[in-house]
Amino acid sequence: MADAPLKSVVDVAARTPYPPDAFAFVREGLHLAAKRAHGPEPEMVNPALAAKRHVSGPQLCQALRDLAIRRWGLMAEAVLSSWHIHSTLDFGKIVYAMIDNQLMQKTNGDSLEDFRDTFDFAQAFSPQSCLRLKLP
The amino acid that residue 111 corresponds to is S
Q: Where are the alpha helices (DSSP H) in the chain?
A: 9-14, 20-38, 47-50, 57-72, 76-82, 88-100, 121-124, 127-134
Range of the domain at 98: 9-37+53-134
| 1 falls within a domain | no
Please indicate, yes or no, if residue 89 is contained in any of the structural domains: yes
Query: How many structural domains are present in the chain?
Result: 1
Q: Is 52 helix (H, G, I), strand (E, B) or coil?
A: helix
Share of the chain above pLDDT 90, in %: 71
pTM value surpassing 0.85: yes
Predicted pLDDT at 1: 45
Q: Which band of pLDDT confidence, cut at 50, 70 and 90, is reported for residue 98?
A: very high
Q: Render pLDDT for 28-56 as a digit per residue (tens, 0 to 9).
A: 999 999 999 888 876 656 655 556 778 99
Better pLDDT: 92 or 40: 92
Average pLDDT over residues 74-85: 97
Asked whether 113 and 83 are in contact (CB, 8 A), the reply is no
